[in-house]
Chains A and B, each alone.
Chain A
Amino acid sequence: MEQLKVIEIQKNVYAKNDEEAAKVRAEVKQKGVYLMNLMSSPGSGKTTTLVRTIQHLKEKLNIGIIEADIDSDVDAKTIATTGAKVIQLHTGGMCHLDANMTRQGLDILETDGLDLVVLENIGNLVCPASFDTGATLNVMILSVPEGDDKPLKYPKMFKVVDVLLINKLDAIGYFDFDLNAVIERAKALNPNIVIFPMSAKLNQGIDAWCDWLEHAVKSSR
């Protein structure tokens, strides 16, 4: 039997994915595509918010959607009703998207002529925060029923996102949800975070968010 030896690696577990993500980011930039990664818990209204966003922006931007789910294509079918170009990715049990899966999604979608591609990540506030997808913009949704303590429980997610959408404000009367406390907690973790309170269901607060996004897409060119 050969002699065992210790091989020092000393490499961050996420380092390899971070390298791939940097490549994806450069590729989409070169193609003139603005890639947005949308993250949240299951049931926060990701798909509803996305449908509203597409309805607001579809005359101004060519939009493509990559739907990622562990299984099923119900979200992709809902998105398809808006007329946006959409594909469904199945992660086969994986709880997050990584940069390689994102690249596969972009290849299948065919991004030529698209201004904005939205990656709807798996509903989960833990792992998607650790795996950079290569997106230009990271956005998360926190909905009122989830509670105002989420920045305390999932600090990493609130640290990595550029934008926080606080959804289901129409339901705030039924829950003990302190909007100011959430804003304060999120800003303590991430001073540059941009926050939009909204109700996707009632189509309230969507304008401000969509104007901001349109400006971000156009000024990135």
Chain B
Amino acid sequence: MHELGIMIHIVDQIEEIAKTQHLQHIDTLVLEVGELSGIVPHYLENVYPMAVENSILQHSKLQIHVIPGKVLCRDCHHVFHLVTPQQACPKCQGNNHKLISGQEFNIKEIVAY
């Protein structure tokens, strides 16, 4: 589990943004997590209270938008939902795909004043 270290890294970045934009209160932090990013949303939620302690995010809510892992089959152009890294195209059984989404791990926005 590596979510705590990463969450602390995110809190540092938000503190910096809060300072430069003179924010006094942050209500919600919104993250985007791709299904193939290696980040487990449930663990992010678990470590959140510890990571935000004594920071500007201390009493804030965490919202996570999960982005599905989608690939395009280069052989038959079928777009499908990728569950594991090695998965054949359900339409033509080909293994030649291009990743469209699912590796994202972004700080999307904050709700603040």
- The residues of A with any CB-CB pair to B shorter than 8 Å are 1-14, 16-17, 93-96, 98, 124, 126-127, 130, 152, 155-156
User: Quick check: is B17 within 8 A (CB to CB) of the other chain?
Assistant: yes
> Which single member of B2, B24, B38, B106 contacts A96 (CB below 8 Å)?
B2
Known: A11-B106, A12-B106. A5 touches B2 (CB 8 A): no
User: Quick check: is B100 within 8 A (CB to CB) of the other chain?
Assistant: no
- The residues of B with any CB-CB pair to A shorter than 8 Å are 2, 4-6, 8-10, 13, 17, 21, 23-25, 27, 31, 38, 85-86, 104-113
> Which single member of A7, A98, A127, A156 contacts B110 (CB below 8 Å)?
A7
- Chain A: minimal CB distance from B78 (Å): 21
> Do A2 and B113 touch (CB < 8 A)?
yes
> Do B111 and A5 touch (CB < 8 A)?
yes
Q: Which residues of the partner chain B approach A7 to less than 8 Å between Cβ atoms?
A: 17, 21, 23, 109-112
- How distant is the Cα of A10 from the Cα of B104 in the complex, in angstroms? 11
> Do A4 and B27 touch (CB < 8 A)?
yes
> Do B112 and A95 touch (CB < 8 A)?
no
Q: What are 6 pairs between A and B in contact, CB < 8 Å?
A: A3-B113, A5-B111, A7-B111, A12-B106, A13-B9, A130-B6
> Do B10 and A13 touch (CB < 8 A)?
yes
Nearest-CB residue, chain A, relative to B10: A13
Nearest 9 interchain pairs by C-beta: A127-B2, A2-B113, A94-B5, A9-B107, A13-B105, A8-B109, A95-B2, A7-B110, A126-B2
> Do B112 and A10 touch (CB < 8 A)?
no
Known: A4-B113, A5-B113. A95 touches B5 (CB 8 A): yes
Known: A127-B2, A152-B86. A6 touches B111 (CB 8 A): yes
> Do A10 and B109 touch (CB < 8 A)?
yes
> Do B85 and A155 touch (CB < 8 A)?
yes
Q: Which residues of the partner chain A approach B9 to less than 8 Å between Cβ atoms?
A: 13, 16-17, 98
Q: Which residues of the partner chain A approach B31 to less than 8 Å between Cβ atoms?
A: 13
- Chain A: minimal CB distance from B28 (Å): 8
6 more contacts with CB within 8 A, not counting A11-B13, A16-B13, are A6-B109, A7-B111, A7-B112, A9-B108, A13-B10, A124-B2
